[in-house]
A and B are shown apart, each in its own frame.
Chain A
Amino acid sequence: MIKNINVALIGNPNTGKTSVFNALTGLNQKVGNYPGITVEKKHGSCRLDRLTKARILDLPGTYSLNASSMDESVVVELLLNKNDPDFPDVAVVVTDVENLKRNLLLFTQIKDLEIPTVLVINMSDQMPRKGIKIDREKLEERLNTRVVLVSTRQNSGVDELKQILVDYPSISTTPILDPNSIDQNYFEGLSKAFPNQSLYKLWLVITQDVNFTKLERQKVPDTAQFKTQSKSYLKKLQQRETIKRYQTINTILKETYHVNRNEAKDLRSKLDNLLIHKFWGYIIFFLILLTIFQAIFDWSSVPMDFIDASFAHLSEWTKTKMPAGILTDLLTEGVIPGLGGIVIFIPQIAFLFLFISVLEETGYMSRVVFLMDRGLRKFGLSGKSVVPLISGTACAIPAVMATRNIENWKERLITILVVPFTTCSARLPVYMILISLVVPNDRWLGINYQGLTLMGLYLIGFLMAILSASLLNRFLKSPNKSYFVVEMPNYKLPLLKNVALTVWEKTRSFVVEAGKIILAISILLWFMASFGPGNNFSNAEEIVTQKYASQPINEMELEKKIASFKLENSYIGILGKSIEPLIRPLGYDWKIGIALISSFAAREVFVATLATIYSVESDAEETIKSRMAGEVRSDGSKLFNWATGISLMLFYAFAMQCMSTLAIVKKETNSWKWPMLQLFSMTIIAYLVAFMAYQILK
């Protein structure tokens, strides 16, 4: 019989908790969400020995059990709920050997919950370099638990940890701190009211309500009477608890942990002198950004072209191999181009996450936060908005999720609201095709006009984000004071395994999540373009043939006339025609109108929609670009001229066209108010700017 046990990994941020998780589980891991909230839930499995299997849950990084964010409260809620299927049989607190004192704060809190708790001291390979010595046996004795020195870099200690986890029932569950020592009066009252409860658990239930969110409390007794104390009094008690814990930890560490500073070689100050230098710091950051953009837009074009071509081939191949009919059309005109439209983004997304995870793993990202905070605060943003704003150039969805570690609600909200203005990769195919149609491929002083236009569009997006942030900053009220605390971790070489797993996981979830929507829309569009109501659609051939019966017209032209007549009378044609009056002042016809409507689901659908519309219309083997270039207005002039092209690009630069972003904003802000504000204000701005651009340029 194989025994299954639940193990929870807990630890401060920057302790290498994820490395330990990766070392234990390898590729046997799954990432999902906690029900109802978008906090990432990572779990994996690991064979501990012949008879024991562990289900390992990697909980979000937290500094203590006094939760101040959604990620952190997940930890508290799980550890207080014995009936949760994830409730751990044994907890593993991962600490960083250099910050042991601070990391032990969390350890003592977990231990006080009376869960068997193993202490992992990670990055132990750093000990000789930093002059650190630890008396492990004594530390085990004083903390009353098992202690393991682990180095994921040298792959040491992991097997020992597994062995200890198998023996978890032998680990003592005696608490470390007696709550009575915090405030005798208060806690005596508490234990009289709830005689059979753990005092520390009661205390957590009471204070969590003060701090952040309502715990699920069916299983926890009513503690309302103990909240009659003023909030600031409870906060004082929390501070006193922290002080008490540090006193205990200090006493223990004095006997067990020694640092010889003379042996310590410090890389930190040397690198900091350069990386947060008043001048060089910004230059280096700028160069790093430049490299990222270079990778996203230049290096990834090779695999992207390859993917593009492969899907075109696949479509052709399917067409020749399958019998003609509705199913084949659906596959070759709907499903395959739709899938291609998702897969083509993989290189860009992968490159972006590669850079972001390397910058975070090395500890550099905190320095950027430090450098940029003052400048961004002028606009109501925070230094911590840098990561979301950079991520936004790939995709707004991970960017909105990356705002979570901004403590100040107002700064976080503003960041969420303006992130969709940054030019995400979904706009890129739209820009690419429009630029190639309306901007000459010439050079001036060696600068390519098309590249210049693209850069201009990026700048416009970024400026609009900053501008709207400073507007929002004026009008939004801030409910609480700003709590900006950023840990400046030590510099580390990134672990290849961690980076690779992050890139894999983020890319996979992007493809799956965005993929579902894009695929569904491509299929829907194809249906709407291939079917229509009433006589006009079903009798299209007769109507058109009759109409041109007296005119000299060859077979092919007639076919084409029939196809466009069918499209005009299909469901989507009717929809497009009905909004044409609204978009004519922007220089668009009804076909562009269809593309606009469909790209409210996702921007990249624009090109796919036009491709679907034009390919339904004609069977000739033309590229989308040459078809678009051939489109004419009723007066014979080109449809995609300078004015219409610019107007469309500006519309796409500003409009909120992404259902997934709206959904994630709703989840993260917990209200429809903010996504609706985004949808309407951004679309109105887009309409007005596109209108002005077309009217001036035409």
Chain B
Amino acid sequence: MLPLDQLALGQKAIIESIETDFLPLKLIEMGCLPGNEISLLYIAPFRDPLYLKIDEAHLAIRKEVARYIMVKPLMDD
């Protein structure tokens, strides 16, 4: 298990837990919930923000939020 901001580029993972009460509700509404699949599609220059695919949604968030989202990488199939 590792924080989302340390996930490798292109890697798929499953959201395990969210380690803060301050995660914006909007993010949860967009599908950022434990159990959902997440993948890191792009990282902007200077390594921030992160472009993610969560479930079916494509969105970008900043590292400062991403580090509270714990994920478990999926083995490549």
Contact = CB atoms under 8 A, between A and B. Distances in A.
Given A99-B56, A272-B42, A487-B57, A370 B51 contact: yes
Interface in A23-58: none
Interface stretch (A60-68, A86-94, A289-297, A560-568): A60-68
A484 B44 CA distance: 14
Nearest to A383: B49
Interface residues of B, number: 30
A373 B33 CA distance: 25
A162 interface: no
A63 B59 contact: no
Interface in B18-76: 21-22, 24-31, 33, 41-42, 44-49, 51, 55-62, 64-65
Contacts of A98: 56
Interface stretch (A113-121, A239-247, A660-668): A239-247
A272 B41 contact: yes
Interface in A469-505: 481-490
Contacts of B48: 373-374
A242 B29 contact: yes
A246 B57 CA distance: 13
Contacts of A243: 28, 33
B30 to A, nearest CB: 6
A68 B59 contact: no
Contacts of A488: 51, 58-60
Contacts of B28: 239, 242-243
Given A268-B58, A484-B62, A102 B45 contact: no
B57 A485 contact: no
Interface in A202-245: 211, 232, 235-236, 238-239, 242-243
Nearest to B30: A102
A407 B23 CA distance: 13
B46 A375 contact: yes
Contacts of B61: 484-486
A453 interface: no
Contacts of A242: 25, 28-29, 33
A442 to B, nearest CB: 40
B31 A68 contact: no
A30 to B, nearest CB: 30
- Residue with the highest number of chain A CB atoms closer than 10 Å, among B22, B33, B57, B58: B58
B33 to A, nearest CB: 6
Contacts of B59: 485-488
- By secondary structure, the A interface counts as helix
Given A370-B49, A373-B49, A374-B49, A63 B56 contact: no
Contacts of A101: 31, 55-56
A679 interface: no
A17 to B, nearest CB: 17
Given A370-B44, A374-B45, A489-B58, A232 B29 contact: no
Given A63-B26, A102-B57, A246-B31, A482 B21 contact: no
B4 to A, nearest CB: 13
Contact of A235 (B25, B30, B44, B60): B25
A239 B31 CA distance: 11
B29 A63 contact: yes
B31 A483 contact: no
A276 interface: yes
A528 interface: no
Given A101-B55, A276-B51, A373 B21 contact: no
Contacts of A490: 58
A256 interface: no
A68 B25 contact: yes
Nearest to A370: B60
Contacts of B64: 481-482
Contacts of B24: 68, 407, 483, 485
A371 interface: yes
A536 B66 CA distance: 74
A483 B65 contact: yes
A238 B51 CA distance: 25
- Residue with the highest number of chain A CB atoms closer than 10 Å, among B29, B41, B56: B29
B56 A66 contact: no
Contacts of A483: 24, 26-27, 65
A76 interface: no
Contacts of A145: none
A357 to B, nearest CB: 21
Contacts of A684: none
A105 interface: yes
B25 A239 contact: yes
Contacts of A172: none
B45 A371 contact: yes
B21 A232 contact: yes
Contact of B49 (A232, A236, A484): A484
Contacts of B21: 232, 235-236
Nearest to B53: A488
B29 A105 contact: yes
A535 B1 CA distance: 89
A485 B60 CA distance: 6
A369 interface: yes
A105 B26 CA distance: 11
Contacts of A276: 42, 44, 51
A366 interface: yes
Contact of B30 (A68, A239, A375, A487): A487
9 contacts: A63-B26, A102-B29, A239-B28, A370-B44, A373-B62, A374-B44, A482-B64, A487-B59, A488-B58
Given A272-B41, A486-B60, 16 more contacts: A63-B30, A64-B29, A105-B29, A232-B21, A243-B28, A246-B33, A369-B60, A371-B45, A374-B49, A375-B46, A485-B59, A485-B60, A486-B59, A487-B57, A488-B51, A490-B58
Nearest 7 pairs of A and B residues by beta carbon = A483-B24, A488-B58, A374-B46, A486-B60, A484-B62, A374-B48, A64-B29
Interface of B: 21-22, 24-31, 33, 41-42, 44-49, 51, 55-62, 64-65
